[in-house]
Amino acid sequence: MRRNGQNQLRRRGEALVDFARLPEGRIAAGEKEALVDDRLEVDERCNQGEEQGRNSEHPVVKASRNRAIQQGRELHLRGRLAAIARNLIRVTEMPAEARGRGPMSPEATIFSTQPIDKSLETFQLKLAFELIQSKLGANDAFVQTLLAGKSPAERADELVNGTKLADLEYRKELLSGGKAAVDASTDPIVTLLKKIDPEARAIRKEVDDNVTSVVRRNGGYIAKARFKLYGTEIPPDATGTLRLSYGATKSYKENGKKVRYYTTIGDAFEYAAKHENKEPFKLPASWMKAKPSLDLKTPYDSVNTTDIIGGNSGSPAVNKDGEVVGIIFDGNIQSLPWNFQYEDEVGRSVITNSTAVVETLQKVYNAPELANELMTASKAKPAAAEKSISVEKKAAGN
């Protein structure tokens, strides 16, 4: 959970960066360091697929296994260049009226004028190739298609330096030429994505048919049964509208043992050391390098009783004084039943505290400008952050 929160914060931090104020090179360098952590997420997802019955032919188990593979193969073939190639392939197969519009549409990615850092793109692809090769093996047909007989580093370098997708005019040319132009393209990244996209779509379809649709349908049955039993005594499911959830920062008991309601940055280092700093508990080199300068007593994560559900990640956590004290990014395993029934005896939401965000932006990710922007120019803001933690302690009664 700790690393998922860190990744959530990094992504939102990237969205807030003012490219005119923070040099592009520093952003790319900082993102390269942070990306190493993302391998842990993929490891966890792929392991889920491998461990849930390697030989099982049950459709749901097969789909879950394929979902892990899909997330490793498609979603984590990282980088803007790969995303642009994928979108070009898929968009040109759609009728114009079905392509969608707006900042989140596939065409928006294609037409983006944001500069592309080739060194970052190379680094992202190299990480993805290394991970997929380690999971599937060098003799796997998919791996051989990806690497074409080269090492992950060599293949990533070849693809990024050989593509013309960083050129906006070239992307426009392909899009205007439609499917015929994309099919005829010899651009190395477009060619690679054309080879692997059919398998990615097939896996996605199997997941949609055997997992997503089943959960959605049966979730509807449960919702109808609950409404018949409880009527308007319970709140409706989330509908995409703004919701406010209230709760207190509070410890809980697990297997008879009290679980502290917060962790510190120092706890992260202690936990990594306890596991010999090996994955999935390994801290990245950037953290180890910054350890002497970090305040290890800084509150990192904390738990509370606010009622959340999948999709709430990234929501601000606000104390009674209206101060943002953190960002929701997860829940403990006991909160999983909240999809259907809320209880606050052991179920907890998890936030990364604002104090940890500021501390790591300044000392780990070398982004003091972003940290200052989040705090505003007021020198009183760090004290306000400390105050927010004391408010949480008071609410917890600990």
pLDDT of residue 98: 55
> For the whole prediction, is pTM greater than 0.75?
no
Residue 275, token pair as written in the block? 């596991």
* pLDDT score for 241: 67
Contact between 36 and 130 (Cβ < 8 Å): no
Q: Give yes or no for a contact between 79 and 121, defined as CB atoms under 8 angstroms apart.
A: yes
Token pair listed for 142: 């998919």
Count of other CB atoms within 10 angstroms of residue 157 = 17
Q: How far apart are CA 178 and CA 181, in angstroms?
A: 6
Length of the chain: 398
What pLDDT does residue 158 have? 96
Torsion sign over Cα 233, 234, 235, 237: negative
The string of DSSP letters for 333-393 reads GGGGGGGT----SS--EEEEEHHHHHHHHHHTS--HHHHHHHH-S-TTHHHHHHHHHHHHH
Partners of residue 351 on adjacent β-strands: 302, 328
Q: What is the largest CA-CA distance in the chain?
A: 67
Residue 100: predicted pLDDT: 63
Rounded-to-integer distance, Cα 185 and Cα 246, Å: 54
> How far is 52 from 169, CA to CA, in rounded Å?
46
Partners of residue 206 on adjacent β-strands: none
String of DSSP letters for 87-139: HHHHHTTS-GGGS--STTSHHHHHH------HHHHHHHHHHHHHHHHHHH-TT
Q: How far apart are CA 136 and CA 152, in angstroms?
A: 14
Query: Which one, of 36, 41, 27, lies nearest residue 123 by Cα?
Result: 36
Provide the sign of the torsion angle of the four alpha carbons 149, 151, 155, 161, taken in this order. Answer: negative
CA distance 366 to 23: 12
Tens of pLDDT along the chain (398 residues) come to 333 444 433 333 333 333 233 333 433 444 444 444 444 443 444 444 444 434 445 454 455 445 444 444 444 577 899 999 999 998 888 766 556 666 567 778 888 888 899 999 999 999 889 988 888 888 988 889 999 999 999 999 999 999 999 999 999 999 999 999 999 999 999 999 999 888 888 877 888 888 888 888 887 888 888 888 888 887 666 666 677 888 999 999 998 999 999 999 999 999 999 999 887 788 999 999 999 999 999 999 999 999 988 778 889 999 988 888 999 999 999 998 887 788 899 999 999 999 999 999 999 999 999 888 888 744 444 433 333 333 333 333 33
- Phi, psi at residue 349, to the nearest 5°? -85, 155
Contact 349, 324 (CB under 8 A): no
Give the span between the Cα atoms of 20 and 100, in whole angstroms: 30
